[in-house]
Amino acid sequence: MSIAFKVFWAFISLGVVTVWGLTLNGMVHKIFARVQGRLGPPVWQPFIDIIKNNAKRTAITHGIMFYLGPVFRIAGGIGTYMFIPVLFGSAYFSNFSLSGDVLLVMYFIFFGQLGMALGAGEGGHPYSAIAVSRGLAQMTAFEVPFALSVISLVAQYGTLNITEIVAAQQGGFLRWTLFTNPLAVITAMISMLGMNMYNPFSVVIAPQEIPIGPPTEYHSSFLGMLATNRGIFAGAKLVLFMNLFFGGATNLLILMLKTFWIYMFSVFVGAAYPRFRTEDSIRFFLTYPTILGIISVLLFSF
């Protein structure tokens, strides 16, 4: 397969995941609203918001890093997505999957946040700095159980390639990691709660205390870019979790079903629970999920 063909289809799959991720975000807003007894915004509201933000007539800058913040963020989102095979066995939706892509993807998940932290720091708003420090602290904490669960998977399947991990799970749902290595899946799902930043781990965005989190100073097309990335990144993370733990997908319909229900886990938890403070969430991530993760690693190491 020529590289031009691969690039062409990678961009198409990027478009698909952007639309699907933003639609999922719209559904999530709707679900939260229904839980609160409201009608909620239409499902396509994230698209309108992005159009409006990009159509703003003015924008100001605080410096070069301020420009680069959203660029790093969206590069992190696209980078994460580009190395994840989307559909198992499909020549078109396999992106740039290569041996060792699990490590690359885990790096890229971190990358965007760090870039954003630098950019938001140059915005100069104190709330940005507070939110960035909270976000990075929480991210460092949930990365530990997530890394442990991935290490457990690598020990279980003996490979660092996502495509091979998906291939090992084919042949009936009982071969999914969910059933062959439940401890690692529980660990990873708990750390996903932290990744998606809904309650109880929503203190980074903290709508009632520090206005809107790291992007306090971001506006206009900067914000449009960040909002687009929210769709891409959500989609990329969900596809990654689907591949690692829930047997992957062989067509787009199954992908949509599985990613929807994986996302709903953190949405349902978010709708039902109050918020942790930063120190509480760090303490939580470094205790129960970490212990579970260590046990799952030990189980498959010996």
Partner 1 sequence: MKDDDIKNDSNLTVEVSQTPIADYPDWRKDDKSLTNAGLSEEEQDWFCDARPQPAKKSWQIMENFFNWARSNSLWILAFGTGCGAIELRPLVTARYDISRLGMQPRPTPRQASVFMIGGYVSIKTLKRIVRSYEQMQGPKFVVAVCSCAINGGMYWDSYNTVKRIDEYIPVDVYVTGCMPRPEAVLAGFSKLKELIKAGKAEGQNLYAEKFDWYKENQKSVIKDWNMPDYNW
Contact between 211 and partner 1 per CB under 8 A: yes
Task: Name which of 89 and 211 has its Cβ closer to partner 1.
Answer: 211
Contact between 143 and partner 1 per CB under 8 A: no
Task: Name which of 161 and 220 has its Cβ closer to partner 1.
Answer: 220
Give CA–CA dist 189/45, Å, rounded: 28
In the complex, the smallest distance separating the C-beta of residue 130 from partner 1, rounded to whole angstroms, is 13
Contact between 4 and partner 1 per CB under 8 A: no
Torsion of the alpha carbons at 288, 294, 299 and 302, rounded to the nearest 10: -160
Task: Name which of 64 and 91 has its Cβ closer to partner 1.
Answer: 64
Task: Name which of 33 and 272 has its Cβ closer to partner 1.
Answer: 33
Tell me how far CA of residue 198 lies from CA of 71, 92, 159, 237, 239, in angstroms.
24, 33, 32, 15, 18
Contact between 271 and partner 1 per CB under 8 A: no
In the complex, the smallest distance separating the C-beta of residue 235 from partner 1, rounded to whole angstroms, is 22
* Amino acid (one-letter) located at 133: S
Task: Name which of 38 and 283 has its Cβ closer to partner 1.
Answer: 38
**In the range 19-78, which residues lie near partner 1 by CB under 8 A?**
29, 33, 36-42, 45, 48-49, 51-52, 55-60
In the complex, the smallest distance separating the C-beta of residue 254 from partner 1, rounded to whole angstroms, is 32
* Amino acid (one-letter) located at 235: G
In the complex, the smallest distance separating the C-beta of residue 72 from partner 1, rounded to whole angstroms, is 19
Measured in degrees and rounded to the nearest 5, phi and psi for residue 85 equal -70, 125
In the complex, the smallest distance separating the C-beta of residue 55 from partner 1, rounded to whole angstroms, is 4
CA 146 to chain CA mean position, Å: 12
User: Which two tokens mark 299?
Assistant: 């189980």
Give the H/E segment covering residue 91: none
Cβ atoms of 212 and 205 within 8 Å: the answer is yes
Give the H/E segment covering residue 214: none
Binding site for partner 1 (CB under 8 A): 29, 33, 36-42, 45, 48-49, 51-52, 55-60, 207, 211-212, 215-220, 223
